[in-house]
Structure 1
Amino acid sequence: MHIFIGGAHNGKREFVRNWMEEPSQWEWVGEGHAWSLDRLAEVDSEFIVLDRIEEWLERSSMDEADAWNHIIKGIEGKETVVILTDIGRGIVPVDPEQRKLRDQCGRLYQWLMAEADEVTRIWYGLAQTLKKRGETG
């Protein structure tokens, strides 16, 4: 799994599209339609891009542990790219629901990052490798 993370409107999706060697073989889940775990389970492609997880989690009644289990089951055996929006950056929202979402995303993102082979931060279109399995830093 390769994760791309960055703030809103920092060029993550465009970067991923340009990074892909054969974009047509990738199935995007989360772009142009409502993100759902049902949609993830229906994907027949061996190449998946998961996008807008934070939007789905906000609409879902599922906690991050259940979301984690469903995501891992849905991507098992598939080449996966995950695009995450960093919604925290150290700012604590005043609204309790937004605080809950920030905390849920934070825990879910940690689990995804631990499982990922590569993590790339996109900051205003610039890429920075944060993790690459097999490399020592």
Structure 2
Amino acid sequence: MSDTTLVLGGARSGKSIAAERLLSHEPDVLYVATGGSDSGNAEWATRVAKHQARRPSSWGLAETIDLVPLLEDSGPPLLIDCLTLWLSRTMDAVDVWSDLSTSASGPTAAMAELDNRIAALTAAWSATSRRVVAVSNDVGSGIVPADPGTRLFRDLMGRLNTTISLASTQVLWTIAGRTLPLT
């Protein structure tokens, strides 16, 4: 049986720190960074450096959005940070944005591919033999965004969080550095 935990929260809520604490006693963890390098962005570089400084030096690192093979393989626990960036980069990879203006007339090939990738991720998450902790932003608690692209992202993030949550053995919600179990 899998041991999967989803840690949800808003921006800067402490969810990454909470996820790291869950695996802090493990000597060998593979930290999976889904954000990409975003080279040239000083703010991003500072955020990445803070995350790196908190992690034990014994932990490995994989920078990828190709999560399914990692979930299918055996190995040390995974800490995936984060599903929000995974979704954003996956939407870019399948080019959802170019189809946005035509999506009102029905499903597009890009959206079908995105649906397939979400389904594959959820299936791999459900079947993994590894201990996995993933971080994800809760983006649905605010106002309805005015533009279609932001609404689409918010809706897809909610769907991804829901499917991963329902396939998880534990779901935690972090607010102001405090983490609460969701049942």
Instruction: Report if TM-score (shorter chain) is over 0.5.
Output: yes
Could you say which residue in structure 2 is the equivalent of 1:94? 146
For the residue of structure 2 that corresponds to 1:120, the secondary structure is strand
Higher helix share: 2
Which residue, out of 119, 144, 151, partners 1:68?
A: 119
Cα shift at 1:11:
0.6
Could you say which residue in structure 1 is the equivalent of 2:79? 49
For the residue of structure 1 that corresponds to 2:158, the secondary structure is helix
Task: Give the aligned residue type for 1:48.
Answer: L
Cα gap change, 1:23 to 1:46, in 2 (>3 Å): closer
* Kept in 2: contact 1:48–1:79 (CA 8 A): yes
Task: Give the aligned residue type for 1:36.
Answer: I
Q: Tell me how many residue pairs correspond in the alignment.
A: 130
Moved more, 83-92 or 61-70: 61-70
Could you say which residue in structure 2 is the equivalent of 1:9? 12
Cα shift at 1:24:
3.6
For the residue of structure 1 that corresponds to 2:31, the secondary structure is strand
Task: Give the aligned residue type for 1:9.
Answer: R
For the residue of structure 2 that corresponds to 1:98, the secondary structure is helix
Could you say which residue in structure 2 is the equivalent of 1:78? 130
Separation in 2, partners of 1:130, 1:54: 19
Could you say which residue in structure 2 is the equivalent of 1:20? 23
| Structure 1 residues not aligned, in runs of 5+ | 132-137
| Structure 2 residues not aligned, in runs of 5+ | 37-62, 95-112
TM-score with structure 2 length normalisation? 0.61
* Kept in 2: contact 1:4–1:81 (CA 8 A): yes
TM-score with structure 1 length normalisation? 0.79
| Root-mean-square deviation over aligned CA pairs | 2.3
Q: For the pair shown, which has the larger CA radius of gyration, 1 or 2?
A: 2
Could you say which residue in structure 2 is the equivalent of 1:105? 157
Task: Give the aligned residue type for 1:57.
Answer: L
Moved more, 52-61 or 101-110: 52-61
